[in-house]
Each structure stands twice: as C-alpha cells, then as structure tokens.
C-alpha cells in the first residue's frame, strides 16, 4: 500500500515491518506535516471481529498511558477512501528492536542489562498502576531509538478495566509469544501484573546469557517446560552474575505467581537497589526527557550590518564632507572657441533630412491612407476580456480554437495581427484560443484479449507500454486484468498505457498442519496466499493451541486465495474445581468464571467480610466447562 493516502490524511511512504497480524509503514501526516508510523491490519483479518477487537485494544491501552518509555498512539480509524483498512497511527521511533540489538551483541553485561530493564519496568509500572497488563513482553516489542530511548510497544494483548476484556483466554494464549508466557497464561489464560513480571524475568535471563531458558522443537514443548520446570539460574551459564540479581530473576520467573514481585514497580525498586550496590558512587538513571544542555542565546536587537558599522573606529574609511564632494568641472577655453568641422556639419544636415522623411511617412501612413488602430497584446487573456478590449477600440474579432498542452482552455494564445500591429478601424483581428490539452479517455480493456486491447488503444491515439503477466482467479488466462492509467481516466494523445494480463489462477500446494501450532499454520498458510479461518473446539487428545483438523485436507493443489478452515484445540473440555474456600465472593467468582464455569451464589447471614464457606461440587471434582458451581458465602 506504499504511496496510498489513508483516511485522507496519512501518506504511506514505505513499509518498515510486517508481522502475522499487521504491516507497519512510515508515513507523512499531511495535516500536521510530521512523520508517523501507521500500523495497518492485514486485509484477511479485518473481517474477524476478534482480531479487530485486539487491534482497537492496542490503541485504547497505549492511549490510556502517557510515559516517555511507551510508544505513543496518536490516532485510530478505518480507511474509507481507497483500499479498506483498519489502521493505527503511532509515533515513529527511528532505531531498532531489542531483538536486533541482542542478535548483534549475543549477550549483554550486567550493567547493560540493568540499563535496559529499568526503562522497560518503568513503562510497565505506569501501566500496572492504572490496571493495564501488557501480556506480550518480548524483545520484538521493545524499541530502542537512535538517541538511546527505550520504548515499549504493541499493547495488542493488553487487558484492564480501562480497555475491556473481550478476548478469550484461548485466543490470547495462541497469539502470545510462548517463550515469554507465564505458566498461568498457558494453563488458564489468566494474566495479571505478575505475568508481565515473569516475561521481564525471562527477557532478563536472555539478555544476560544470550539464550532462552527453554528450547524445544515446537511451541507446545516449550509451553510444557514453562509450566512444569523451574527456570535455571542465569549464573549457571554466566558465573559472574551478582547473586542478588541472580536471585531476583529466579523469583521473577517462579512458577508460583505469589513468589514473584507483585508488579513492575516492586521489580524496579529491587533492581535499582542492585544497581546502587554495584556502583554506589554513580548517579542512578534518570527517566526525564532529553533536553538541550546549551541555553539558547538571546538574538541581537540590532541588525547585523548596522551593528558592524556602529562598531567601526571613528575616522576609518569615512572621510570628511569636503573629501566626499565631487570636483567641479573646469571649462576648456580652447575647446569652446573651436568651431565644428565640415564633416560634422554634413552629418548634421543628413540627420535632419532623414528625420523629415520619417515624419512625413508616418503622417502619410496614419492620416493619408485612412485611420489605423494599434492592436493591444491579448495573450493570456480570456476570450471575453479580449473581445471586449477589441470592441472598445472599434475592432471586430474572430475566434479560432486549437489544442494546447500548456495553456488552459478558453485563454488566448496569440492574435493575428499580434500585439503592436495595426488594423484599419472596423477591421478584424483573429484570436487563437486554447481548447486545453487534447484528451483521450482510457477505454474499458478488462476482459479483452491482448490483441483486442492493443487495437483499441491505437484507435484512441494511445500507445502500448509494458505488459505484465500476473495470476488471477477471476479473469481468464490471456485476458486483460487492468490498465495503468485506469479505465475512464482522461490522458493526452500518445500517452503510454501499461497492461496486466491474466495467467489464470495460481495453484498452491496445501500442506498438513494437523498437530502443529495454530500460529505456524496461520502464518505459513497466509504467507502462501491462502485465506485462513480459525475456529475453536475442545479436545482431550490434542494440546491447547494445536490444530485438530483442517478443511480441505492436505495433499492437493488449490487456487491462491482458497479459504482453509482450521479447528484449534481449546484443551480439555473438563475442568477441576479449584479451592476457593475463604476467598471473597468476587475473587471466587472470578476464578471459577476464568475456568468457563457458571457460578451460583448462596448467601448466609449479612457479614460485610463474608467469604466462601462451601463449594458444590467439591474441590478437585472434574466437571465439564459450562457446568454450574454453587458457592456458599457467609
């Protein structure tokens, strides 16, 4: 879409990044004349309400935050003019991602890791303070500007009271990055501020060691390790890591959320304490905005040239009044007394004679042969103005219209006779008037054969340009798909017209993705050119997030754009009743509803601090999701 104008305001300049959900362009805000980043959802996802909801969620989440280490969102909307698109406008960060920096460096020193983590945690602390959880912290979502400013981006999976909670647990798990997801997100799709703390802990481990704590052949294997294994201490790979930092990362990546720092602010406080202990004499990092260090000097109120003159020493290059007065001419008595030579007198007589002849000829031309009128210059005048001017002088006019590529329609190009010429009173002046450029309309070429299209172009005084053959599922092979310029556009005579010719539908081989992750299936099939429709179902045998089946089946060839339906596992249809005894009614209800269970509340007494005293079915009972669980509160 490079070159398109989005929403009548944002001119897309170039593509800078592309992911499984959207493409990011560098663009120009034509209204405010500034560079911005425009994130446009892939067209095949725009019809999926869940994806659009996530996209708008990102705008709401970032707009609710104002922090120097968070990428600011400036606008969001739907493009109505031109290609339909759901878009998001963000500040343009000129730099690179933390992933790119980590790829180049391999791993970072302890002090470098702390310098990178502090702004990330500061940004998340601001989000946690108002109840927003990012849920997708990873190196790809951390930007580093050319000036060194760290920015947290992509709040597409964020949740909180300010932005709603419409995404399902299953969709969030599938779309998140499994290497950085907390165990509770993988198991139950539940996330709070401690889940972001876990992701930052994994990020810190990778920055220190250059490796992720868990590796596997598939996302499902990695997710299993996050749930069932403890993250090893970073010092096992890098022994020089301080013990305090090593222990902090171990606590942050604990499988039990209660053992982690409760939010990013607590994590940040502990990290700052470690930084201070490593170098007590060094001032701690300031998160203030960058400002110029040199004050702006006040402009001189005296113009530069006048100021320089006033500063010259007196008497230098100025002179006195008498010095600057030009000398008076001194008459030459010898020359004034000398009489003209015979040659000079002869030339004077010849000049006088020629003057008499010219005056007589002019009189004869003007008065002796009838009255002549001077024709004014009328170039660049409108026809009406030129005719009115001639009428005032008693001159008639005749209009001749001609095509002209440079002069607007209805404007006089020149006249016969031209400006400065003369005509007899009552005579006629011909006005040569522009009809504008000679225009030809691009005819309808779609569906015609190449030979038919070329013949039609020649008939309309147009020239055939390049011919490009492309695949097309709706236009028959060998027929014209479109032209540039497009049908109906008015162009000059001889304009070059380029054609696109159909090669017929492009056939693609469909591979099997059964048992593989839905992320892989969605990305690879979409990149290949298929339109993927995701649906969800329970499965007792297929892991959560993996493909149960696909339609049509793999093994054949299909035209590009074919719709492929995949059924994604939501995991087991059954859930175990958790222990909600002694919890408040709200917390117990929330925990049960997260497991997709229906909650029925029975109250006993009127205690203000009432808690759950009984659960039916009993704790640990296996029930189907959607079943009703009765809790007694008293």
State CA 324 to chain mean position distance: 68
For 362, the 3-state DSSP assignment is: helix
Burial class (CB in 10 A: 0-12, 13-18, 19+), 414: middle
| Closest CA relative to residue 253, chosen from 220, 206, 295, 289 | 206
Starting at the edge strand found earlier in the chain, the sheet holding 73-79 runs 5-6, 10-18, 22-29, 34-41, 85-91, 73-79
**Cβ neighbours around 520 below 10 Å, total:** 14
Starting at the edge strand found earlier in the chain, the sheet holding 496-502 runs 463-470, 496-502, 480-484
Selecting among 33, 136, 196, 240, the annotated active-site residue is 136
For 354, the 3-state DSSP assignment is: helix
Cβ–Cβ under 8 Å, residues 61 and 46: no
CA distance 314 to 284: 58
Q: Which pairs count as long-range contacts for 588-595, CB under 8 Å and 24+ apart, including other chains? A: 588/612, 588/631, 588/633, 589/631, 592/629, 592/631, 594/169, 594/188, 594/189, 594/190, 595/188, 595/625
CA distance 75 to 63: 9
Burial class (CB in 10 A: 0-12, 13-18, 19+), 96: middle
Tokens of 529: 């050119």
Please write down the HEC assignment for all residues of 96-165.
EEHHHHHHHHCCCCHHHHHHHHHHHHHHHHHHHHCCCECCCCCHHHEEEECCCCEEECCCCCCEECCCEC
Burial class (CB in 10 A: 0-12, 13-18, 19+), 126: buried
User: Is 279 part of the annotated catalytic residue set?
Assistant: no
CA distance 552 to 567: 12
CA distance 347 to 352: 9
Cβ–Cβ under 8 Å, residues 50 and 165: no
CA distance 625 to 144: 44
Catalytic residues: 136
């Amino acid at each position: 879409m490079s070159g398109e104008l989005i929403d009548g305001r944002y001119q897309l300049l170039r593509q800078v990044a592309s992911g499984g959900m959207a493409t990011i362009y560098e663009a120009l805000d034509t209204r405010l004349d500034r560079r911005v980043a425009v994130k446009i959802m892939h067209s095949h996802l725009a019809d999926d309400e869940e994806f659009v909801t996530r996209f708008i969620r990102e705008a709401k989440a970032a707009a609710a935050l104002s922090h120097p280490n968070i990428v600011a969102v400036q606008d969001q909307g739907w493009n109505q003019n031109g290609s339909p698109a759901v878009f998001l406008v963000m500040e343009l960060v000129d730099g690179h991602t933390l992933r790119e920096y980590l790829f180049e460096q391999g791993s970072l020193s302890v002090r470098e890791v702390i310098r990178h983590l502090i702004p990330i945690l500061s940004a998340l602390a601001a989000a946690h303070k108002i109840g927003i959880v990012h849920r997708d912290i990873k190196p790809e979502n951390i930007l580093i500007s050319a000036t060194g400013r760290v920015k947290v981006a992509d709040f597409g999976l964020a949740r909180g009271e300010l932005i709603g909670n419409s995404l399902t647990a299953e969709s969030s798990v599938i779309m998140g990055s499994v290497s950085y997801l907390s165990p509770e997100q993988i198991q139950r799709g539940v996330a709070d501020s401690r889940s972001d703390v876990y992701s930052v802990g994994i990020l810190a481990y990778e920055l220190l060691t250059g490796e992720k704590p868990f590796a596997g052949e598939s996302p499902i294997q990695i997710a299993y390790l996050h749930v069932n294994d403890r993250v090893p201490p970073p010092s096992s790979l890098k022994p020089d890591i301080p013990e305090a930092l090593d222990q902090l990362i171990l606590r942050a990546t604990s499988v039990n959320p209660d053992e982690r720092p409760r939010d990013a602010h607590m994590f940040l406080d502990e990290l700052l304490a470690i930084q201070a202990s490593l170098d007590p004499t060094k001032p701690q990092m300031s998160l203030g905005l960058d400002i110029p260090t040199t004050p702006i000097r006040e402009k001189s109120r005296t113009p530069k040239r006048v100021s320089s003159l006033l500063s010259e020493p007196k008497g230098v290059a100025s002179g006195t009044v008498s010095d600057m007065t030009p000398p008076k001419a001194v008459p030459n008595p010898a020359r004034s007394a000398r009489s003209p030579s015979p040659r000079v007198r002869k030339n004077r007589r010849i000049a006088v004679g020629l003057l008499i002849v010219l005056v007589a000829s002019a009189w004869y031309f003007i008065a002796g042969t009838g009255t002549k009128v001077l024709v004014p210059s009328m170039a660049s005048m409108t026809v009406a103005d030129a005719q009115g001017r001639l009428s005032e002088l008693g001159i008639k006019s005749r209009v001749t219209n001609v095509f002209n590529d440079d002069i607007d329609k209805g404007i006089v190009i020149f006249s016969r006779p031209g400006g400065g010429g003369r005509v007899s009173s009552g005579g006629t002046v011909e006005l040569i008037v522009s009809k504008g450029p000679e225009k030809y309309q691009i005819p309808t070429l779609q569906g015609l054969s190449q030979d038919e299209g070329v013949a039609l172009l020649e008939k309309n005084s147009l020239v055939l340009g390049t011919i490009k053959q492309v695949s097309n599922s709706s236009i028959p092979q060998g027929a014209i798909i479109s032209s540039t310029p497009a049908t109906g556009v008015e162009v000059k005579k001889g304009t070059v017209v380029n054609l696109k010719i159909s090669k017929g539908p492009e056939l693609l081989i469909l591979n099997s993705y059964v048992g593989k992750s839905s992320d892989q299936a969605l990305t690879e099939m979409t990149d290949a050119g298929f339109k993927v429709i995701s649906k969800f179902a329970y499965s007792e045998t297929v892991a959560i997030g993996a493909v149960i089946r696909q339609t049509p089946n793999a093994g054949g060839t299909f035209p590009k754009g074919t719709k492929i339906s995949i059924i994604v596992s939501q995991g087991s249809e059954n859930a175990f009743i958790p222990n909600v005894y002694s919890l408040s009614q709200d917390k117990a209800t929330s925990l049960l509803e997260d497991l997709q269970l229906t909650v029925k509340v029975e109250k006993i007494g009127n205690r203000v601090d009432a808690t759950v005293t009984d659960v039916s079915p009993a704790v640990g009972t296996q029930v189907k999701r959607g079943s009703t669980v009765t809790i007694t509160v008293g």
